[in-house]
């Protein structure tokens, strides 16, 4: 019986049927097969194969006619997958062999030349780098869109006052625009981390073969350039075994997920009746099955929760890679699902946040009313005592605390205390003190760089638009 017929009868994959007489057990096939998830790499896989094929022809490693047939066949495979006409087969294990098997059906024996001077080890490393790079580009575009919404709101609300919180207690007056620009800066750093990751991953493993390179006269610089990489990776062992780029992507993605979760957590708080700073549109709210009055910010709650998935993905791959000797181990097949899941979660969360905030309505009146509690201009009073009376700050802090206690006992705000009340604690206080006890005066006084004064916020919004949206 021929080898091919034996493979057909046993179900053994043709790529390792020569070594194994019997087919794999059902359990082995199930644990070994990755096509159910790595089929997402099809576009990158075909792109890499086309670059490799052109290089092989250019270097005279395979005949030009075969190369042209392979390229035509790969284009047909790509079209079939895009059209939904491609049959993915688990017996072929992964996306690489599914594509190559179908290519053989289309172009015949010439398809067998495509795998010259490469291995599935460098092939999958290349595919995943390309996929992560594409994902980073997509996430960057999405984050820029979210920043655009935030900056637009910040420009509209540069002078809208609201409480700034520490320990979730009203601390000092700030503007809504200032708060939204804080979110914008967080996302800007996330974009920077992803850009750093992209820069470091942008080296090509293709041509490293299984682990030791190849004896064929390949041109790895040619394939690297064709795929948009800056250069080929310098060491063949490192090229096939490195998953730093995936770990770094998941690490940057985890920080991003935490930022999105913090933003979502504030949105959840702001939507409560107790805060009532924000109203989400019907598109991003749900009701209760038994409580008809409920209006739940479920989209924000889910964004807040999905950070756990992304952090879990990072932890998963960290554990997979821990202790792996060079070079490739089948353990690395477990790199893709956490990367895919994290990327999907981040993409969805950014889209949800962008949609929520684009349609959100801010209750500016409620924000101002909330400033009537918590003695939020106490710091302004202490600063006035230092600036005008020359008191040491610690003494001014003590005087202010005593005045807050007086106002608290009388059930009024600091601005409602009489001058006599204030002078009973600190005789040097004059009528001028009332100029700093108003909410608007407090906000407008914060003119230091990065401060919340409305003019500062307007300038910061313009600068943020230039830095994040126009560059």
Which residues are catalytically annotated? 167, 288
Number of H helices, E strands in the chain: 19, 6
The CA distance from 414 to 407, in Å, is 6
The CA distance from 406 to 417, in Å, is 8
Q: Where are the beta strands (DSSP E) in 196-268?
A: 203-204, 231-232
The CA distance from 300 to 280, in Å, is 10
The CA distance from 452 to 180, in Å, is 11
Coil, helix or strand at residue 449: coil
Q: Which residues contact 82 (CB under 8 A, 6 or more apart)?
A: none
Q: Which long-range contacts (CB under 8 A, 24 or more apart) does 397-402 make?
A: 399/425, 399/426
What the block records as the tokens of 185 is: 């800066």
The CA distance from 232 to 207, in Å, is 9
What is the maximal distance between C-alpha atoms in the chain? 109
Within 10 Å of residue 109's Cβ, how many Cβ atoms? 9
Coil, helix or strand at residue 330: helix
Residues in the chain: 471
Q: What stretches of 322-465 show up as alpha helix (H) in DSSP? A: 336-359, 364-370, 378-389, 393-410, 419-423, 439-445, 454-464
């Amino acid at each position: 019986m021929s080898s091919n017929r034996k493979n057909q009868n046993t179900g053994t994959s043709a790529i390792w049927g020569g070594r194994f007489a019997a087919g794999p057990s059902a359990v082995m096939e199930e644990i070994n097969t990755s096509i159910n998830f790595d089929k997402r790499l099809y576009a990158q896989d075909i792109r890499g194969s086309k670059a490799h094929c052109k290089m092989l022809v250019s270097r005279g490693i395979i005949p030009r006619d075969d190369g042209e047939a392979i390229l035509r066949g790969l284009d047909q495979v790509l079209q079939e997958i895009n059209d939904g006409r491609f049959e993915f087969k688990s017996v072929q294990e992964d996306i690489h062999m599914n594509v190559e098997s179908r290519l053989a059906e289309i172009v015949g024996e010439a398809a067998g030349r495509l795998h010259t001077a490469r291995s599935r080890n460098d092939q999958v490393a290349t595919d995943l780098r390309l996929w992560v790079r594409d994902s980073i580009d997509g996430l960057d575009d999405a984050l820029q869109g979210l920043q655009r919404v935030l900056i637009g709101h910040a420009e509209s609300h540069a002078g809208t006052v609201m409480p700034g919180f520490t320990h979730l207690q009203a601390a000092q007056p700030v503007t809504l625009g200032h708060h939204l620009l804080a979110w914008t800066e967080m996302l800007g750093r996330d974009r920077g981390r992803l850009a750093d990751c992209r820069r470091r991953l942008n080296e090509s493993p293709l041509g490293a073969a299984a682990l030791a390179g190849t004896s064929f006269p390949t041109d790895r610089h040619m394939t690297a350039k064709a795929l948009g990489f800056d250069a080929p990776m310098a060491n063949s062992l490192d090229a096939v075994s490195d998953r730093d780029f995936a770990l770094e992507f998941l690490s940057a993605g985890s920080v991003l997920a935490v930022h999105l979760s913090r933003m979502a957590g504030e949105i959840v708080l702001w939507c409560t009746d107790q805060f009532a700073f924000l109203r989400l549109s019907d598109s991003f709210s749900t009701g209760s099955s038994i409580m008809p009055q409920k209006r739940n910010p479920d989209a924000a709650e889910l964004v807040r929760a999905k950070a756990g998935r992304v952090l879990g993905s990072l932890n998963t791959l960290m554990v997979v890679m821990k202790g792996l000797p060079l070079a490739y181990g089948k353990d690395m097949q477990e790199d893709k699902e956490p990367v895919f899941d994290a990327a999907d979660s981040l993409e969805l969360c950014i889209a949800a946040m962008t949609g929520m905030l684009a349609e959100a309505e801010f209750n500016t009146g409620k924000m101002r009313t909330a400033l009537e509690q918590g003695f939020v201009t106490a710091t302004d009073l202490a600063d006035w005592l230092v600036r005008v009376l020359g008191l040491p700050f610690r003494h001014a802090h003590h005087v202010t605390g005593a005045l807050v206690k007086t106002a608290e006992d009388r059930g009024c705000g600091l601005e409602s205390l009489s001058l006599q009340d204030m002078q009973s604690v600190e005789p040097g206080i004059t009528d001028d003190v009332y100029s700093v006890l108003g909410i608007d005066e407090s906000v407008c006084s914060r003119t230091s760089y990065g401060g919340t004064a409305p003019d500062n916020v307007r300038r910061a919004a313009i600068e943020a638009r230039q830095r994040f949206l126009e560059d």
